[in-house]
Structure 1
Amino acid sequence: MGTPLGDFIRAKRDGIQPESLGLPDRGRRRSPGLRRLDLAARAGISVEYLTRMEQGRDRNPSVPVLNALADALGLDRSERDHLRYLAKITGGACSAGTRPAPARRDVRPSVLETLRLLEPAIAVVTNRLGDVLAHTSGYEALTSGTGLLDADPPNLTRYVFTDPRARSFFADWGDIADEQAFDLWLGPSVENAEWLTAELAPLAGPEFTRRLNRHVVPRRGELRLNHPDGPELRLNRETLDLSSDAQQLVVFLPVDERTAQAVDGLCHRSHGRLRAIS
C-alpha cells in the first residue's frame, strides 16, 4: 500500500520528460516520465531505496534525502514545502498513539471582530476541510444565487465537487478543484480520512479522487467568477493564515474597475450582517 509521500514522488517523476534534463532517450517504456534509475542517480540514492519510498515501505526518509529528491525533481518552494509536509504526516502515521485534534469549527472572537471591521468587504473564514465558518455580508452577496451557502453547514470543498452550479460559478473550475483537493492534505489527518471516506468521496466520485491523489500544488492566481446577476468578476485573494486554529481568513479584492462597480452593486443590494456559522 502506498503513502501520500510515495504517491507525490511518483507523480512528479512521471511528469518529467527525460529530455528536459538532458538525459538520453532510452526507447519505449511502459510508463511516462523519468525512470526510477535516473531519479535515484540524480538524488544520490539507491534504486531500491527509492522503490521502497514510492511503494510506502520506507516512511521515514531523512532531511538530506528529501532535499536531494527535491533537487533531483526540480521542485519549486511550494512543492518542497509539500514534500516535507507529506514526509511528516507519512512518518506520523507510523507513530503509535498519535491522534491529531479535529478541525476547529468555532471562530475566535478577535477573528470575528476583524471580519466585522472589514464590513461590507468580501471576506470569509474557512478551515482546511473547506467548512465556511464565518463570513461578511459582502461574501454572502458575492455567493447569492450560487448555492454555495445553502448547505447546513456550508462546505466549499463539497460544493465544488458535488454541486453542478459550481462549474458555472467558478470560471476556472479545474483550478479551484485542485486548490480544494490540495488543502485537504493540510487538514487534520484522522478527521480528514473519516470525512473523506464516509461523506465526500462517495458523492464526488473519481474526479475528486483523481485530483486528490495528483498532489498538484496550486498557484492560487486571480479568481474569476460568473455571478448569476452580473458580469464576470475578477478578484485577487489575500489570505491570512490562522495557523494556531488551522483556519484561514480570505479577503477578496476587485482586480479592475468593472468588477469593483459590480461588487459595489451586489453589496448595496445585500442587507445581511456578519455571520458566524459555527
Structure 2
Amino acid sequence: MQHRGPAARRAAVADEGDGLGYLTRIEQGRDRRPSVAVIHALADALSLDPSERDHLRYLAKITGGECSAHPQPAPPRRQVRPSVRETLRLLEPGIAMVTNRLGDVLAHTGAFASVTGAAGLLDGDAPNLTRYVFTDARARTFFADWDDIADEQAFDLWLAPSAENSAWLTAQLAALAGPDFTRRRNRHVVPRRGILRLDHPSAGALRLRRETLELSADAQQLIVFLPADDTTAQAVEQLRVRPHGRLRAIS
C-alpha cells in the first residue's frame, strides 16, 4: 500500500468537495453537512479502522446515505423476530442475549439469567444494560472493569438504531447519571472490548469472552458469552444447575 503524506491526503479529501475552500469550511465548523463521499474520504485520509469509520458516519448523522435532519427523541422497537428467538433457544444451555446498541435486553437464555440476575441486571419489565451500568450501584461491583464497560455503553449510544433512539435514552440518563455519563458520552473514543470480568454475588470471579452476531435488519445484536477459563466454566455450570427461568423475550 502506498502511503501518502498529510498534504496529499488533505488534497484527496478536498477533491471530493469543491476544493480546499470546502475542506476549510468543514475544518472551521462552517459546513456541518458533509456528503457521504466526503465522509468516506475523511475516513481514508485518517486511515480509520472499520469501527472508527462506523463511528465517524454516526457522528456525521448519516443514515442510509443521507445526512439526517432534526430527529425527535423516540424509543426503539423491542420486538424480536421468531427466528431469532428460535436461534437463541438453540443456544441453551449457553449464556446469550439479544440486545441493541442502547443496551436493551430484549431476550435471553436461562443461563444468562443465572449469571446476571442475582446482580439485578434483569430487574424490572424492560431491563437495560446501559441504564443499569450508570444508575445502579450494584453494577460497579458486578463489573470488575466498570470503567471499561461504562465506556462501551456510552460509546454504543452513537451506534443506536437511529439518532432518535440515541437522543431518547441520552435525555433520560443525562439527568440520572450526571457528569460521569455525559463526559463519557462526549469522548468519542472507540473502546476496547476485551474479556468481560464479573464479580458474581455467589459464584465469585468470572471471565467471559463475547461473540457478537449483528442482526442488521433488526438493528439488534445476538451476543454469546463463553467461559474464558476452566474456573469460569465450572462456576457457570454450577449456576446452570440451579433453578432458573426459561428463555425469556421481553417486549
Give the TM-score normalised by structure 1.
Answer: 0.76
Q: What per-residue deviation string (whole Å, max 9, x for no partner) do you get for residues 141-177 of structure 1?
A: 0013211111321110000111111111111111111
Q: CA deviation at 1:102?
A: 5.1
The one-letter code of the counterpart of 2:10 is A
Question: For the structure 1 residues 277 and 72, does the alpha-carbon distance in structure 2 shift closer, same or farther, using more than 3 Å as the test?
Answer: same
Q: CA deviation at 1:129?
A: 1.4
Question: For the structure 1 residues 64 and 151, does the alpha-carbon distance in structure 2 shift closer, same or farther, using more than 3 Å as the test?
Answer: same
- Given that residues 143 and 199 in structure 2 are in contact (C-alpha distance below 8 angstroms), is that contact kept between their aligned partners in structure 1? yes
1:94 aligns with 2:69: yes
Q: CA deviation at 1:263?
A: 0.4
Given candidates 165, 171, 179, the residue that maps to 2:152 is: 179
Q: Distance in 2 between matches of 1:241 and 1:47?
A: 38
Q: What per-residue deviation string (whole Å, max 9, x for no partner) do you get for residues 40-89 of structure 1?
A: 88623588755643665312324554345335544333212321333343
Partner residue, 2:10: 43
Given candidates 174, 187, 193, the residue that maps to 2:167 is: 193
For structure 1, list consecutive stretches of 5 or more residues without a partner in the other structure.
Answer: 1-38
The one-letter code of the counterpart of 2:167 is A
Partner residue, 2:3: none
Q: Distance in 1 between matches of 2:180 and 2:74?
A: 28
For structure 2, list consecutive stretches of 5 or more residues without a partner in the other structure.
Answer: 1-5
- After TM superposition, the structure 1 stretch with the greater mean CA deviation from structure 2, 207-216 or 80-89, is 80-89
Q: Distance in 1 between matches of 2:179 and 2:242?
A: 39
Question: For the structure 1 residues 142 and 71, does the alpha-carbon distance in structure 2 shift closer, same or farther, using more than 3 Å as the test?
Answer: same
Q: Distance in 1 between matches of 2:174 and 2:24?
A: 28
Match of 1:239, SS state, is strand
- Given that residues 196 and 207 in structure 2 are in contact (C-alpha distance below 8 angstroms), is that contact kept between their aligned partners in structure 1? yes
- Given that residues 137 and 270 in structure 1 are in contact (C-alpha distance below 8 angstroms), is that contact kept between their aligned partners in structure 2? no
Q: CA deviation at 1:230?
A: 2.0
Q: Distance in 2 between matches of 1:152 and 1:235?
A: 26
Partner residue, 1:69: 42
Q: Distance in 2 between matches of 1:171 and 1:50?
A: 44
| Aligned pairs (5 A) from 1:1-278 | 43-44=10-11, 52-53=25-26, 56-63=29-36, 65-89=38-62, 92-94=67-69, 103-187=76-160, 188-197=162-171, 199-278=172-251
- Given that residues 121 and 136 in structure 1 are in contact (C-alpha distance below 8 angstroms), is that contact kept between their aligned partners in structure 2? yes
- Given that residues 104 and 127 in structure 1 are in contact (C-alpha distance below 8 angstroms), is that contact kept between their aligned partners in structure 2? no
Match of 1:225, SS state, is strand
The one-letter code of the counterpart of 1:208 is F
- After TM superposition, the structure 1 stretch with the greater mean CA deviation from structure 2, 188-197 or 84-93, is 84-93
- Given that residues 211 and 223 in structure 2 are in contact (C-alpha distance below 8 angstroms), is that contact kept between their aligned partners in structure 1? yes
Q: Distance in 1 between matches of 2:176 and 2:72?
A: 26
Q: CA deviation at 1:99?
A: 7.2
RMSD between superposed Cα atoms in Å: 2.7
- After TM superposition, the structure 1 stretch with the greater mean CA deviation from structure 2, 53-62 or 78-87, is 53-62
- Given that residues 129 and 157 in structure 1 are in contact (C-alpha distance below 8 angstroms), is that contact kept between their aligned partners in structure 2? yes
Question: For the structure 1 residues 102 and 164, does the alpha-carbon distance in structure 2 shift closer, same or farther, using more than 3 Å as the test?
Answer: closer
Q: Distance in 2 between matches of 1:128 and 1:116?
A: 22
- Given that residues 55 and 159 in structure 2 are in contact (C-alpha distance below 8 angstroms), is that contact kept between their aligned partners in structure 1? no
How many percent of aligned residue pairs carry the same amino acid?
70
Q: CA deviation at 1:219?
A: 2.5
